[in-house]
Chain A
């Protein structure tokens, strides 16, 4: 009995310490908010890069495709390529993708079109993380970051 209490108390204490130190209190309180309030949850979207909102005018006029970096993000490898046309980002294609599991593959298939749509609208990486696909979204941004930075340098 005494040892059962010791076990339960240390489970509670280690849970509290781990959540506190790991910065999980926010996640817990938003979960509580979801469970106990009738309001529809606000999507916890965060911006991937601060970036500007003005459309860049630096990219080449003729269609040019520039491959991005291959990013290993734990659940897979993602490499994208950007096609610039008439000073704008015209399209994004997936050059290379390997998923570690079926769930990640499904997420990638869902998230990449959404991210690309956002990117084409914003014309820079100031786009929202796709909720549920944080790792994929981050990999998406990382793969393209260098390409967009390089084009910006090129133009200036």
Chain B
């Protein structure tokens, strides 16, 4: 196996401290967006009009509308896969913030709708429903806003956990893409009618620029770049085989050009075979037998991974990425401990590939039973080549507590600890590592959700 041959350039990641600063600045920018949204109704004169019929509701609706769309702007930036955010924070954490912000953005926007109709009802002395029809139909900008509001309400409704659990992930994802169109309509109505923008060209320009930057980021990092990269690589399936008696599937792919990535990163893989082309799934990139061959190893857990076992050779594959901050670029300490739980062995194997021959890494693989240790041979060889030690911990949590992972290891003070596995496993092992003296700055986690 020629792991090194396919390993990518690590230079593009940049200096860790400088990247941290970059992410801090981005968060300061998010704060500024919310701060300005809160300040706008105070400055633009809306607040001075609270004594008129509907005036206080109108001020509240201006405020909620601005804060709601500012939150949506942040969500779009978070979803745009700006390389900086992915390299520093890691895509799973970035998307967690995206999801955390979502109910607030939807709530503020829907609150804005109700308050605006209420303001009109008071100003025109009309009942709420008639005011709603009046508000929705008076101008092109308000028709646009109505469509946007309906889409936001729809996506909000299908995102309730109870509803979302009944909808296939891909269907939900496709519907939620409608929000991009809704946002364009919402911004049009804001610029046409928002007291913050109508008479303040500077505010108007700032808002247009902010959205243009966010939109271009989405377009370039999520559409153009992956498309161009996939086209250049021209990946296709070479072969598939079962590992561990059918518990895992290994897919080998050929590529026309060499892909550059850091060990531990993942790609979003899309198999162009019928309707499967609508889905993209994350798997760690593993090197193949040559520099123009790639592999992925997937645990068979659901509908898609079962289908993967029978994917016909020659199927065209496009990819997004590589993504992920679970790489050696984050190394700070002098020694390395790599802990893999179950399917986390793929990320640990990939990371090992980037360690040099003198690194002497400690590697622990924890599996429920031995048949699950499908990459054991490759791991053993990679660890031996780097003068390290590999330990296999077999047994369910009831039989063998996770604390066994750290048996016989020294104090973890200056050791980078890399943990890959299911979220619950990662959380517990992180806590155990901290209890053994690991510094939180030296903990690197790669929890994957199924």
Contacts and interface: CB of A to CB of B under 8 A. Distances in A.
A and B: interacting chains: yes
A139 to B, nearest CB: 11
A10 B29 CA distance: 8
B127 to A, nearest CB: 14
Nearest to B137: A102
A12 B198 CA distance: 25
Interface stretch (B8-16, B20-28, B165-173, B396-404): B20-28
A34 B51 CA distance: 10
Interface string A6-30: 1111111111001100111001101
Interface of A is mostly: helix
B38 A10 contact: no
A3 interface: yes
B446 interface: no
Interface residues of A, number: 42
A144 to B, nearest CB: 20
Contacts of B36: 14-15, 18
Interface stretch (A62-70, A79-87, A89-97, A104-112): A104-112
Contacts of B45: 27, 134
B180 to A, nearest CB: 24
A114 to B, nearest CB: 11
Interface in B183-214: 192-193, 198-199
B47 A28 contact: yes
Given A6-B31, A8-B31, A74-B199, A101 B39 contact: no
A132 B31 contact: no
Contacts of A27: 42-43, 45, 47-48
Contacts of A155: none
Given A6-B28, A9-B31, A11-B31, A19 B39 contact: yes
Contact of B198 (A19, A22, A31, A75): A75
A24 B196 CA distance: 13
B138 to A, nearest CB: 4
Contacts of A51: none
B143 to A, nearest CB: 10
B128 interface: no
A50 interface: no
Nearest to B192: A100
Contacts of A19: 39, 42-43
Interface of A: 2-4, 6-15, 18-19, 22-24, 27-28, 30-31, 34, 41, 43-44, 74-75, 99-103, 105-107, 110, 131-135
Name the 9 nearest CB pairs between A and B, nearest first.
A132-B52, A10-B31, A22-B43, A14-B35, A18-B39, A74-B198, A24-B42, A102-B138, A11-B35
